[in-house]
Each structure stands twice: as structure tokens, then as C-alpha cells.
Amino acid sequence: MPRLGINIDHVATLRQARGESYPSLVGAAEMALENGADQITIHLREDRRHIQDTDVIAIALVTRKFGKPLNLEMGAAEDILNIAIEVAPSWICLVPEKREELTTEGGLNLLSDDIFSKLQGVCNQLKEKIKGVKISLFLEAREEILMRALDLRVDAVEIHTGEYATDFLNGEDISGHLSSFQKAKAFLDSKNIACHAGHGLTNKSVLPLLKSGGFEEYNIGHWVVSEAVFLGLARVVKDLRGVFDENC
């Protein structure tokens, strides 16, 4: 059974829009875990547009109380690295960041020697300073990029599913995406690296991926928080858990 990670970044987006103390990130994390989430995912961005430093500490305490992993998404900035080392989450997913982007627009460019070198240093520090931490890289499903991931001390790759999710929702042909995902999974399996998926997924666009058995973990956030406006967070997470249980 693949893991269901619930990303609660956009609960924080709503809170930050007015600078209030609500809605509660702790409450959102607890509700997600009580209703079937296998882990909580948050992205501490360098611009702090949603998740704040104190949120990372608070959510780490919630996940530990439930005995579930915290998956911390982060860029390679030094101040974020220091927070990650202090909090010591179970998983860290290294992602690219641009201040002008609305959301993460694609995977890390490991073909850039500068980016690769910086990530290599970050991975080494994380492994040395956080006992038992597992690291994933947010990448495109391209073999030349996945090949370079082998030279980093990572435990998993999270495949960027954003373009797939958009094409699915627009009724476009998704066969090419599914083929590239399957090839990426086979390659990573052969190297004993786990294969995760995330970005833009909904309860419907995740179905072909679940049925193909392509990934070991899925992280879903924006759609969950959007649906929660109408149905409530507990019901949305519980229903999504049901989708996983019925199709795996």
C-alpha cells in the first residue's frame, strides 16, 4: 500500500492572507492524521509565503505524537538547512525555488554542475547531522537527470507530476506521462531508490497512478485544502484514504 502524504501548506496560505492565528496548522495536521494520512508534508520556503519556522517545530511535535513521519520540503538555502537540522524530520525533500513562481514549477536541474554541487553539500550535511534522516529529490522523470541522482546520498526521488495532472484535468492524452513514470520507477527500483510522486494531483488524477502501481508515496495538498472549503478537511482526507484503499 503506497503512503498518502497530506500537504497542509495552503492551510497556512489562508492564515497568512490575513496575518491571523487561524486556521490552525496543528489542528489541520492532527485532523489529517486522524483520518488516514500516513504522513504530513510541509514546504518551508525561503520567502516564508505560507509555512513559518515555528510551524515546522509545531508540526514535528504533532507527527511524533502520532508516530508518523514529517516530510519537510525545502530548498538549499543555509537558514532553511539549519532549521531542518534542528527539527530533524523523518524525511526531507529537496526542491527548487524561485521567488517569482506561484508554486514549484518543475524538478531540480541536476544537469547543472553548480546546482548538483550545492545539493551534494546539502545532502552530506543532512546525513551527517540528522540521525536516520531520509532524503528525496524532486525531479522530472528523465533518465539523464535520474542518473545524476545516483551520485547523491538520497533514499528516494519524488517525480514531478504537475504536467501530467494538468493534462489529465484538461482531457489530454496522458499515455506519454504514464510511460515515462513507469520507466523512471523501473530505473529507480534497479538502483534501490524509492519512487514517490507529487504536485497537482487530485482524487481523480491519482487513480491511473494508483492502478499502475507506479509509486510508493503520493503527496497531495492544494486539491485537498480546496475541497475542504466545501466538504471539510476530515471528510476529504478520509475519502481520499478510501480511494487509495480501493485502488491499490
Active site residues: 43, 73, 199
**Peptide bond before residue 89 is cis, with ω within 30 degrees of 0:** no
Yes or no: say if 107 and 96 are a contact pair by the CB < 8 Å rule: yes
CA distance 125 to 128: 5
Looking at residue 231, its amino acid is L
